[in-house]
Chains A and B, each alone.
Chain A
Amino acid sequence: MPANNPADSYCLGIESTADDFGAAVVSFDGKVLSNANDAYMPKEGGIHPREAARHHAEVAEKVLAEAFQTATVKPRDVSLVAFSQGPGLGPCLRTGATAARALASYLDVPLVGVNHCVGHIEIGKLATGAKDPVTLYVSGGNTIVSAFEAGRYRVFGETLDIAIGNCLDVFARAVGLQQRSGMPFGAVVEELARKGKRFVSLPYTVKGMDLSFSGLLTAAVQAFQSGKYSLEDLCFSLQEVAFSMLTEVTERALAHTEKPEVLLTGGVAANRRVQSMLEVIAKEHDARFCVVPLSLAADNGAMIAWAGILAYRSGVSTPIEESYVNVKWRLEDVYAPWVEG
């Protein structure tokens, strides 16, 4: 059971939905005491689920040890273990879940399965002080516009095919760019885009509140292969079209819900161009613009720990026998009694 003082109660959060294995210690009063991570870096191509899971199993011990050391918290002092239960890649999720189950039962503390998307939203709210935002959650695996209504984070719009981060990654690989440590594909594209001058017309696909990036990706790759355009101009144009689509849909949700804040979260939130676009619409609708800090933007254990704390405090926990992973767990399927609204 957690100690009486929230600052002395700690949750261990384990994140393993895709290429990142993360572990973090967060106190019940919302202080991120550590946030350790090790990312699987494929030599070529995208994330191979089995290889990523193997990576996670190899680094788990090291990352967990780092999380405890940095936080100067002993495993025995942890009163809750939270893990990302879905959505994500099955083998990766299962690796994190196995570690979480083992630790929770060894330490004899409750276990909470956290929805990965909820984690991104909640850590954004914690870090920025946002209370009731329209959230644009953009990453390699997800593109969701959501807002809280009647007990749940409702999905107002989402991608109908690939995620925006996936679109940028696949484009970058297709045109021969390389990612480096600390410089993921998205950042490489952003850097090139800043040097772009000429706008190349590319398909802009908004269907009501939903988005589609696969046609845009194909057109951008084909435009590159035609040899008629510079890579800088294409990165620039791809970003302009994709981010304008995201901003248009977010603005529609904002106009519809009249929420007081706009929150940008997820790995792609690190992109300064998408930040600047959202900031403009937030201002125009008298909403406060909030962006998750860089250290908490990509997948991380802290967001899982914090969302776990929120859920646990409102009476949610996950018995080990019900802690199977849910690779297709939708955001709006999560009942979120900890949110006031």
Chain B
Amino acid sequence: MRLGWRDKTMLIKKGAEASLYLETWHDRKVVMKRRLPKRYRIPELDHTIRSQRTAHEPSIIHKAKEAGVPTPTIFMVDVADANIVMEFVEGKQVKEVLDTVSLEERLRLSRLVGRMIGRLHKHGIIHGDLTTSNMILTPHGKVVFVDFGLSERSKELEPKGVDLHLMKRALQSTHHKHAKECFKAVMEGYSEAMGKEKTKQVTAKIREIEKRGRYVAER
């Protein structure tokens, strides 16, 4: 990557799919999302996966904004090298805060997250990786959805159910103490954006997906 403007670079998150670097870009604090080659994959497969995801992600981030969901501003996309330069969002990961705040705040936050997911789904955006580490709580109390690397467009019921099923699973594995109440609040918020009828359908779908899972007692 030829970044003439780079003066200092700091790795802020080494994810599985991409690494995030904090950079200064035209006097702006930015995040550079780099999908570095994965040495475990053969180059053909690796290049296809990285460039497809790099081209795809900014367009979906833009669509999310249209749906009224806060996402980082995209400044530059380099498909060939699989890099995206975007706004640095100040705040904390919802993952860090969710277990430490008061019950009331936890439920408010969960409802807000749910409302944002509802907006995404209403506009045919499936996030694909709804975990609390992919959501940033800003000092102004907004929740910014940051990682759309696995997202897809769909109006179908099935992927909406899978999306929320993943959210539920993320809550259970990372916030197991509060998973139940949080997910309930997420669905309340979801209902505010999607409407009662659609939410009912999605809830039924989630249940169906859960039963589809392996070794589920009630089937």
Contacts and interface: CB of A to CB of B under 8 A. Distances in A.
Interface of A: 86-87, 142, 149-150, 154-156, 158-160, 199, 201, 204, 206-210, 240-241, 244, 247-248, 251-256, 276-278, 280-281, 284-285, 327-330
B214 A328 contact: yes
A281 B215 contact: no
A199 B44 contact: yes
B14 interface: yes
Interface string B145-180: 000001000000000001000100100111010000
B45 interface: yes
B128 interface: yes
B49 interface: yes
Given A86-B215, A330-B216, 13 more contacts: A199-B44, A201-B48, A204-B45, A207-B162, A208-B162, A208-B166, A210-B166, A247-B41, A255-B15, A256-B174, A277-B41, A328-B217, A328-B219
Nearest to A201: B48
30 contacts: A86-B215, A150-B176, A154-B172, A155-B169, A201-B48, A204-B45, A207-B166, A208-B128, A208-B129, A208-B131, A209-B169, A240-B41, A244-B38, A244-B40, A244-B41, A247-B38, A248-B16, A254-B16, A255-B15, A256-B131, A256-B133, A278-B40, A280-B39, A280-B40, A281-B40, A327-B215, A328-B214, A328-B216, A329-B215, A330-B214
B40 A154 contact: no
A204 B49 contact: yes
Contacts of B217: 328, 330
Given A87-B214, A158-B213, A158-B214, A199 B173 contact: no
Interface of B: 14-17, 38-42, 44-45, 48-49, 128-131, 133, 150, 162, 166, 169, 172-174, 176, 212-217, 219
Given A199-B44, A240-B42, A247-B40, A208 B150 contact: yes
B20 to A, nearest CB: 11
Nearest to B162: A207
A248 B15 CA distance: 11
Contacts of B133: 256
Nearest to A146: B173
Contacts of A207: 128, 150, 162, 166
Nearest to A331: B215
A78 to B, nearest CB: 30
B45 A206 contact: no
A330 B16 contact: no
Contacts of B166: 207-210
B215 A199 contact: no
Contacts of B173: 149, 154-156
A142 B213 CA distance: 12
A95 to B, nearest CB: 19
A204 to B, nearest CB: 7
Contacts of B215: 86-87, 327-330
Nearest to A236: B42
A241 B17 contact: no
Contacts of B128: 207-208
Contacts of A86: 215
A252 B45 contact: no
